[in-house]
Structure 1
Amino acid sequence: MSSPEIASLSWGQMKVQGSTKIYKDCKVWPGGSRDWDWRETGTEHSPGVQPADVEEVVKKGVQTLVIGRGMSEALKVPPSTLEYLEKQGIDVRVLQTEKAVKEYNALAAQGVRVGGVFHSTC
């Protein structure tokens, strides 16, 4: 099962291949995608992406996880999250969201089992 391409990105809107939904923030993994609802884990811009935010994607068996920090990189990624991913043996890339989407799509096109969590606004 391959990772779906992110078909489009603009401020506050993301479309993922194979889904008719328009996401504001989303999680993607080999074979699927869904809304990334920050309320599930109490996530805020600071301290940022929690281990609980990425755990679901990690459990899908990804080799690499791409984190999109937002268009202006307002979303932080604390050391605890990076340490969690390292302990799981996951290669992690933390980038501004437009760059993150390009990186994710390039890895997906190469057949890498890549997942992502993307914030499409600030």
Structure 2
Amino acid sequence: MSSPEIVYLSWGHMEVKGGSSAYKDCKVWPGGSRAWDWRETGTQHQPGVQPADVEEVLSKGVNTLVIGKGMNDMLQVQSSTLDLLRQKGVVVRVLQTEKAVAEYNDLVGQGVRVGGVFHSTC
């Protein structure tokens, strides 16, 4: 099962191939996607993406994870999140969201078992 391509990105709006709706922020993995609701884990721009935000995507068996830090690079990533990914042997790429989506789609095209968490505003 391959990861779905992200087919559209603009400020506050993302569309994933095969997704049932548009997303503001989203999580993607081989075979699926869903909205990333920060309220589920209490995430804020600082200190940023926490381990609980990536665990669902990791549970789908990805070997690479791309994190989109927002259109203006405002979303931080906690060091504990990066430590968790390293401990699990997952390659992580943390980029501004437009660059992250391009990287993610390139990895999808290469057949990599890639997942992602993407923030589409600030």
Query: TM-score of the superposition, structure 2-length normalised?
Result: 0.99
CA deviation after TM superposition for structure 1 residue 91, in Å? 0.2
List runs of 5+ in structure 1 lacking aligned partners. none
Distance (whole Å) between structure 2 residues aligned to residue 27 and residue 19 of structure 1: 11
Distance (whole Å) between structure 2 residues aligned to residue 61 and residue 12 of structure 1: 28
- The root-mean-square deviation of aligned C-alpha atoms, in Å, is 0.4
Per-residue CA deviations over 1:52-95 (Å, capped at 9, x if unaligned) read 00000000000100000000000000111100100111000000
Distance (whole Å) between structure 2 residues aligned to residue 84 and residue 68 of structure 1: 17
Distance (whole Å) between structure 2 residues aligned to residue 89 and residue 53 of structure 1: 17
Q: Residue 99 of structure 1 aligns to a residue in which SS?
A: helix
Give the number of aligned pairs.
122
Q: Residue 93 of structure 2 aligns to a residue in which SS?
A: strand
CA deviation after TM superposition for structure 1 residue 40, in Å? 0.4
Per-residue CA deviations over 1:19-55 (Å, capped at 9, x if unaligned) read 1301000000000000000000000000000000000
Q: Residue 77 of structure 1 aligns to a residue in which SS?
A: coil
Residue 20 of structure 1 is matched in structure 2 by 20
Distance (whole Å) between structure 2 residues aligned to residue 67 and residue 57 of structure 1: 11
Report the residue type matching 2:105 in the other structure: N
Distance (whole Å) between structure 1 residues aligned to residue 93 and residue 21 of structure 2: 25
Residue 67 of structure 2 is matched in structure 1 by 67
Distance (whole Å) between structure 1 residues aligned to residue 31 and residue 82 of structure 2: 24
Q: Residue 47 of structure 1 aligns to a residue in which SS?
A: coil
Residue 121 of structure 1 is matched in structure 2 by 121
Per-residue CA deviations over 1:90-116 (Å, capped at 9, x if unaligned) read 000000000000000000000000000
Matched, 1:47 2:76: no
Residue 3 of structure 1 is matched in structure 2 by 3
Percentage of matched positions with identical amino acids: 73
Distance (whole Å) between structure 1 residues aligned to residue 73 and residue 65 of structure 2: 17
Distance (whole Å) between structure 1 residues aligned to residue 59 and residue 78 of structure 2: 20
